[in-house]
Structure 1
């Protein structure tokens, strides 16, 4: 038989306040609904959710990839092509490098000739030669009966231009040249052999010399001397070095070198006499200044009378001496153009144009350094242009254009 559940005991109320029954609070007065005018929709207040109601569920934010993960590897762009360094001057890849491995060489029967430039040079030195002859004649009068031998010895001394020991002394002491070392000779001789082979000239008739200079230059002197600077030998490709040598060979083949030296030699007594006369005249002028204006006037009358007597006696020939330097400079410029044409005809026109450009660049650098150091820039006047023995860069390059144009 089932027992009924136990009933909890009744606990007594706490003493103090008597137990009062709980009365519900009075209801709040209801606000009257607003009267809606006819023809309009009634106002419905918004229904706010209950405080205890569940909040609406918003869509979840998208999941972005973790940035700490490894980024995809994209292929790297191809590297830009780098400019290749220019080849060394002695590299076979240089555009002006030539092959000097030549077998048999054809030598022409005519090795030299005297062209119009050499003949003009000799003709223009004739006034200087006559003045020198007068000076030598006056000096030979001091030797009495042996004076004629002195004049004849001076006239025969011109043959020393073609004397090899005299040429060597001239190259060593006047031109400051030296013999090349075995290493330098091994570098110069193959290039010289190629130049003379193209020209049909026997290269052993000439001597190669070296000048210890950092400038780009070369020289053709006397009858058999071809000199190049150390800079040209070490810094130029062998094709450009060959162009320089071919240019100097053109001076020898055309007779420019020996005619210039011969004219200079026979004009030397007149040049020495002129310098002595200038020194004496300058000394007399300084002495005349001591006697104020009267001494200067007397000196001017004396020198003017002497010059007038000399000109009238020699039928005005001394006046030609004033024009000789300008004419000789013009002939010198023409001989340089002839030597350029000789080198270009042997196939060295592009190399020679590159050498001329380097020479022009060196001149511009020298002018810029002079201006940077505060020096006065060298301005070329019309007189200096007329007295220049070498044409300017643009003139020489203009005369090379027929050889630089491609053949059809």
Structure 2
């Protein structure tokens, strides 16, 4: 998401919105303090180990101005969709093959299964389907009342600063003792229980601003669409591998051979289509390109949070995550009696997240 144009400054009360709305103070308690109006009735208490360090300026009843475009499709989202095209073509061929079989056996019109499959991508934005996805696939749950009282005011503040309608999104909790959060589908924002309970409000806001950047940039839904439309092709490939490993009797050889030839033909057509679209050399580095796009999405989400004023708090969170990761690796290697070594270059290139040093390097301009 691009940041709105800089607003004129008022030395006493922070930036003044161009449309004459209420003044806003820096979200992380910066150098310009808000005017003292006494205690804020909407200020929410945090865990004893996490003092509240976020200034709440957009409580219920306060006027909030939304941006004209609530969602965008940035270059990273387009890259994710482009890289998913070969898998989509292979899946299309598999669906057409199944449709032809159903047409011959059951008399079902050829176009119905294919049309239903193509239309199923809209379920990414269907709220009941998202609820099922969150509960049974992502293993998330609704926030408890205490968690909601802790999380919702921070989310409301972050979305108000960004000019986004926070009510469009749904907050979910993951039962985990790790510091983590993620954006999924069209409206899901998942946060671990540890993150909600232990992070100060400023750091929690930085984490939420990062995940909001994934949604407003189109990263979450484009990634899920690419995965969804590649499922039939991956399922066919796994079925072929399972049959190759199974005990094959002579009576089944002809059937397996026929199915194998069909799947190999589908794979060959998909590879040919991908080669025409991207060129054969790019097919060799396709996994690396996909990982690189994922890393770019993370950096763009970091930049979104930094543009909203959360760069210092986000840097603190990244340093905590880096320390936790190093500590976990050291413990695991100590159990195995090995020394901690630098990650190999291929492993770094196949990682979908940049290392913490790279993310902090990109944040330094905003600190």
- Above 0.5 in TM-score? yes
Task: Give the secondary-structure state (helix, strand or coil) at the position aligned to 1:180.
Answer: coil
**8 Å contact 1:89–1:238 — kept in the other structure?**
no
Q: Which residue in 2 is equivalent to 1:278?
A: 241
CA distance in structure 1 between the partners assigned to 2:337 and 2:195 by the alignment: 28
From 310, 313, 317, give the equivalent of 2:275.
317
CA distance in structure 2 between the partners assigned to 1:141 and 1:343 by the alignment: 49
Q: CA RMSD in A?
A: 2.7
From 56, 60, 84, give the equivalent of 1:125.
84
With the length of structure 2 as denominator, give the TM-score of the two structures: 0.75
CA distance in structure 1 between the partners assigned to 2:96 and 2:270 by the alignment: 20
Q: Which residue in 1 is equivalent to 2:63?
A: 104
* 1:369 pairs with 2:328: no
Q: How does 1:320-331 map to 2 (within 5 A)?
A: 322-331=284-293
Q: Which residue in 2 is equivalent to 1:337?
A: 299
CA offset at residue 282 of structure 1? 3.6
- For residues 240-290 of structure 1, what are the alpha-carbon distances to aligned partners after superposition, in whole Å with 9 as ceiling and x for unaligned? 000000000000000000100111100111111121222223447x99xxx
Task: Give the secondary-structure state (helix, strand or coil) at the position aligned to 1:220.
Answer: strand
- For residues 224-244 of structure 1, what are the alpha-carbon distances to aligned partners after superposition, in whole Å with 9 as ceiling and x for unaligned? 111100010011000000000
Q: Which residue in 2 is equivalent to 1:240?
A: 203
CA distance in structure 1 between the partners assigned to 2:323 and 2:50 by the alignment: 21
Task: Give the secondary-structure state (helix, strand or coil) at the position aligned to 2:301.
Answer: helix
Q: Which residue in 1 is equivalent to 2:173?
A: 210
Structure with more of its chain in helix, by fraction: 2
From 137, 145, 149, give the equivalent of 1:182.
145
CA offset at residue 324 of structure 1? 2.9
CA distance in structure 2 between the partners assigned to 1:191 and 1:380 by the alignment: 36
Q: How does 1:4-403 map to 2 (within 5 A)?
A: 89-92=49-52, 97-102=53-58, 103-144=62-103, 145-283=108-246, 310=268, 314=272, 317=275, 322-374=284-336, 380-403=343-366
**8 Å contact 1:128–1:321 — kept in the other structure?**
no
CA distance in structure 1 between the partners assigned to 2:273 and 2:213 by the alignment: 39
CA distance in structure 2 between the partners assigned to 1:173 and 1:323 by the alignment: 34
RCO comparison, higher one (Cα < 8 Å, 6+): 2
| Gap regions ≥5 residues in structure 1 | 1-86, 288-298
CA offset at residue 142 of structure 1? 1.4
Task: Give the secondary-structure state (helix, strand or coil) at the position aligned to 1:314.
Answer: helix
CA distance in structure 2 between the partners assigned to 1:137 and 1:364 by the alignment: 48
Task: Give the secondary-structure state (helix, strand or coil) at the position aligned to 2:285.
Answer: helix
**8 Å contact 1:367–1:378 — kept in the other structure?**
no
CA distance in structure 1 between the partners assigned to 2:137 and 2:236 by the alignment: 20
Which protein has the larger Cα radius of gyration, Structure 1 or Structure 2?
A: 1
